[in-house]
Amino acid sequence: MTEPIRRSAAESPGTVLVLGGGGMKGVAHIGVWKALEEAGIRVDAVIGTSIGALIGCSLAGGHGWRELAQVARALTKDDIVSINRRAVLFGGVREEAVFDGGHYRGWIDRNLPLKSFVDARFPVRVNAVSLVTGQARWFGTGVDTESSPVDAVYASCAIPIYFPPLRLGGDVLVDGGVTDVLPIRYAAEWGADRIIAVDVGSEMTPPAADYFDRGMIAIHDRVLTLNLQQQRVRAQEAPWEGPPLLRIRPRIGHLGGWDFDRTQFFLEEGYRAAREALQGEAATA
């Protein structure tokens, strides 16, 4: 279930680009944007989840694929990950996460060009999940323009156990992909005439022989992958009765979401997959 959309706040969009979650694999979204731009496709609005929220709000803030590619190539694990040392001490199980959320939020604040949703160059919405209500909470055009895009993007990226939840107005918010990693149905509810969905989620591949010897984080990561994979399976099996839908699936599902060494490959694979999907669509039109 999703919260009601305030229809009076914004005109229903035409072509909506949905950018899914997938950690560093979301760099592929940048390559997709380049391919769409070259093809002359006008995107009227963007919906983003997790890394897709970061890319979507960056685009709405004025960054193009060149600027985003530069940011992505410069990104290192240390920019995102800083260990919460209290979490590894005796009694650390009471800590909210193993990483320092302030460190990651600071990086978002320094690099996100969109500082207010009212300044967005086109409609944009991003999702998080409320641990209080269990429902999706949406930020952005027509739903919540008062909250900071930095807070909204952090909440949408706050993977449980890895990053602390965002506490906002009595709510406790985590990664939007926990319940909807590729919100194409929400795009249809918004009023999209056409949906272009970029799926950078994980595939279920057998874990390494010593995988489960790595501790609780590895086990949690496997559970999260199972959850996301089940979302993908249900979405693919469910009949689609919405507006025309173009799915773009880069061949990166077998790779990890914490892979900071394949940035260029992710960029190129997103571009390749988008061009292939667009050519296939044109051939069947």
Separation of alpha carbons 258 and 126, rounded Å: 21
Phi and psi at residue 139, to the nearest 5°: -125, 150
Number of H helices, E strands in the chain: 9, 8
Please give the distance of CA 194 from its chain centroid, rounded to a whole number: 20
| Catalytic residue flag (residue 109) | no
Choosing from 50, 58, 130, 156, which is the catalytic residue? Answer: 50
Choosing from 175, 180, 199, 221, which is the catalytic residue? Answer: 175
| Catalytic residue flag (residue 175) | yes
Phi and psi at residue 129, to the nearest 5°: -120, 130
Both tokens of 140, joined, read 């952005």
| Consecutive H or E run containing 140 | strand 136-140
DSSP, res 141: T
Both tokens of 128, joined, read 């998080």
Catalytic positions are: 50, 175
